[in-house]
Chain A
Amino acid sequence: MIQAAAFYLFATIVIASGVMTIASRNPVHSVLWLILAFFNAAGLMLLLGAEFIAMLLVIVYVGAVAVLFLFVVMMLDVDFAEMRAGFAKYLPFGTLLAIVLLAEIVFAIAAWNAGSIATGVRAAPTNAAVPNIEALGTVLYTRYLYIFEGAGLVLLVAMIGAIVLTQRTRSGVRPQNVSAQVRRRPEDATRNVNQPVGQGVEL
């Protein structure tokens, strides 16, 4: 009973905050609603017993991705009139996307009803006594090791690509060179001069 109540609470908030994400006028509010949606999706994962996925959702999406979203959106100066002007232009494309998504959801529900999930369960039996981090780790690092490492490699390439694409060498900057500062001794900066009286110092 409590689980059902929690499910309906989380599911309602996910849907409501999803609607608010696209309905809010202010982009910052949109991002905050999106964060609420992520958070409640993590709650749903928890109800399914996938505590590892739930925590990852919060750490990765809420804690890192959404922070960067918020970071960018906060500094945007969005012109709402201009955004509304584009509405008619993007309407056909948006409608197409919506129809595709709707069709996919219908197919997914039909597939669920047809009981094909059961074959998935048979193909990958899991033990309820094993914590799901351990179960995931066992599968990822044995059977799917190469695929997993391949995914890691793709991410590495993406990371290097992002750094290479955004790197630019600027002239005229004077970055701090810490090792040069630490290496500098008093002898490098000062010298003792036996200065005769009545004469100016030559530097």
Chain B
Amino acid sequence: MNKLDKIESKYIKTDIPEFKAGDKVRVKIRISEENKDRIQVFEGIVIRIKGTGINKTFTVRKISFNNIGVERTFLINSPVIQSIEKVGDGIVRRAKLYYLRDKVGKKSKVRFK
């Protein structure tokens, strides 16, 4: 382990559940507003997992009101993320699900186990 990895290892979380692209996750995000902290939940399908170590990120896509797709990318080890919960085990054939962006209706859905 080199010295830079040692610095990073302090910030890398070990309690994250294993999930892959296509899974449905519920991410709890801490949002601080003027001396107040609240938790916001973002639930959707993981369309991308990218990077390694402290730079690892994942992107969650959900369909919001009026069928507008919303994507958020999180640093997996960020202290802003309070918890990640795996809700569904998706069946997909790709590691990056960018094709979901162009699909509407039933085709934009992912089957679950």
Q: Are A and B subunits of one complex?
A: no
Q: Which residues of B contact A (CB under 8 A)?
A: none
